[in-house]
């Protein structure tokens, strides 16, 4: 399943979607950046409540398929602009981290 | 490629939010060189952790990446406070990060362990009050 398909089927909001056809291979959940760096797999949906600029470098270098910011955490327009420039998919949902993960689990 | 390719970066120690730029740039450079994706991922993760450490713990520094036929070498130098006990610092979960840093998502004490995990060799030399030198190598063969 691609990130664009996931958005549609799960009802996640695509805040920026520069790479809509990126394939999803799994899910990783975490807010501690170097933990995510070390453990997330390439192609994962990364679910987090972190919203500072550093998440973009982490997503890019760990090569996750997208960042899914849960719990309706507010995202600054500056972050979204940088994500677009760097080609990083950023999704938003008002679901809890758990509900978001369960939703994805039913789809992939 | 018979000649070694070298990339140099000055890592700004004042800006946490844009930290990681050198690693993001290296990822691009390695991609252009046609290096395998899993190698690129290992190099850029290890370098990012080292780069962030220089920003958070040492007030910035310098990074050099050398690509040869056999390996990619990442060399990081800073003039920060140094690491008191390297063995302890290498342990998962050990961190001296402040609360402010932790609110940004750093301070899990996983950076150095990640650097070890994702490279084939890591050499750390550090002197209190002088700075820290880290050389990491990822083999291409
Ligand atoms: N360049 C450096 N200069 C001085 N001290 C350092 C340097 N790099 C690491 N350290 C010390 O080693 C500790 C462990 O580093 P490590 O990268 O593993 O964890 P962290 O940076 O605290 O947290 P994380 O990397 O998980 O965000 C740091 O908390 C710090 O005390
Ligand atoms: Mg660190």
Mean pLDDT on B126-137: 98
- Measured by CA distance, the residue closest to atom 1 of ligand 1 is B54
Which three-class secondary structure state does DSSP give residue B33?
A: coil
Q: Which of B105, B107, B116 to mutate to test the interface with A (most CBs of A within 10 A)?
A: B105
Nearest to B114 by CA among B83, B93, B141: B93
Residue in chain A lying closest to B47 (CA): A61
Average pLDDT for A4-17: 98
**pLDDT of A76 strictly over 70:** yes
B13 touches ligand 1 (CB under 6 Å): no
Q: What are phi and psi of A38, to 5 degrees?
A: -80, -30
- Measured CA to CA, the distance from residue A55 to residue A49 in angstroms comes to 10
Q: Which domain holds residue B121?
A: 5-139
Instruction: Give the pTM.
Output: 0.94
* Beta partners for residue B71, in sequence order: B139
The total number of structural domains that make up chain B: 1
pLDDT band at B2 (very low <50, low <70, confident <90, very high): low
- HEC string of A15-84 equals EECCCCCCECCEEEECCCHHHHHHHCCCCEEEEECCCCCHHHHHHHHHCCCEEEECCCCCCCHHHHHHHH
Confidence of residue A95 (pLDDT cuts 50, 70, 90): very high
Across the range B24-34, mean pLDDT stands at 96
- Is it the case that residue A60 has pLDDT exceeding 70? yes
Tell how strand B131-139 and strand B121-127 pair up. antiparallel
Alpha-carbon torsion A16, A81, A88, A99, what sign? negative
Q: Does B23 touch chain A (CB under 8 A)?
A: yes
Q: What is the CATH number of domain A3-107?
A: 3.40.1390.20
Question: Quick check: CB of B115 below 6 Å from ligand 1?
Answer: no
Report chain B residues whose CB lies below 8 A from the CB of A60. 24, 27
Does A31 lie at the interface with B, CB-CB under 8 angstroms?
yes
The band of B17, judged by pLDDT with boundaries at 50, 70 and 90, is confident
Q: Average pLDDT for residues B135-140, to the nearest whole number?
A: 98
Quote the ipTM score: 0.89
Q: Would you call B104 and A52 a contact, using CB atoms and an 8 Å cutoff?
A: yes
Q: Do B45 and A86 count as a contact with CB atoms less than 8 A apart?
A: no
In chain A, what are the domain boundaries? 3-107
Cβ atoms of residues A94 and A72 within 8 Å? yes
Q: Is the CB of B20 under 6 A from ligand 1?
A: no
Mutate which of B54, B78, B107, B112 for ligand 1 pocket (most atoms within 8 A of beta carbon)? B112
The rounded distance, in Å, linking the Cα atoms of A46 and A27 is 6
In sign, the C-alpha dihedral spanning B20, B26, B31, B35 is negative
Task: Please determine, for residue B139, whether its predicted confidence score (pLDDT) is greater than 90.
Answer: yes
In chain A, what percentage of residues exceed pLDDT 90? 100
Instruction: State yes or no: pLDDT of A56 exceeds 60.
Output: yes
Q: CB-CB: which of B24, B49, B118 is closest to A60?
A: B24
What pLDDT is recorded for position B18? 78
CATH of the domain at B132: 3.30.565.10
pLDDT at B1 over 60: no
């Amino acid at each position: 399943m691609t990130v664009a398909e996931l958005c549609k089927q799960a009802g996640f909001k695509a805040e920026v979607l520069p790479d809509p056809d990126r394939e999803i291979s799994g899910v990783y959940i975490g807010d501690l950046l170097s933990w995510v760096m070390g453990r997330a797999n390439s192609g994962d949906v990364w679910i987090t409540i972190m919203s500072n600029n550093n998440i973009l470098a982490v997503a890019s270098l760990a090569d996750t398929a997208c960042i899914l910011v849960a719990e309706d955490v507010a995202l600054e327009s500056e972050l979204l602009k940088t994500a677009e420039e760097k080609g990083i998919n950023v999704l938003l949902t008002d679901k809890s981290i758990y509900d978001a993960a369960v939703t994805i689990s039913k789809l992939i | 490629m018979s000649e070694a390719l070298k990339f140099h970066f000055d890592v700004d120690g004042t800006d946490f939010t844009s930290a990681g730029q050198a690693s993001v740039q290296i990822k691009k450079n390695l991609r252009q060189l046609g290096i395998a994706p899993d190698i690129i991922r290992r190099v850029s993760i290890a370098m990012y952790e080292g780069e962030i450490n220089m920003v958070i713990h040492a007030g910035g520094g310098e990074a050099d990446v050398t690509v040869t036929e056999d390996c990619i070498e990442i060399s990081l130098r800073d003039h920060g406070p140094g690491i008191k006990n390297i063995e302890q610092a290498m342990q998962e979960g050990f961190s001296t990060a402040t609360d402010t840093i932790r609110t940004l998502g750093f301070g899990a004490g996983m950076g150095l362990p990640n650097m070890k995990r994702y490279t084939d060799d890591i050499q750390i030399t550090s002197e209190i009050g002088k700075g820290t030198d880290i050389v990491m190598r990822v083999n291409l063969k």
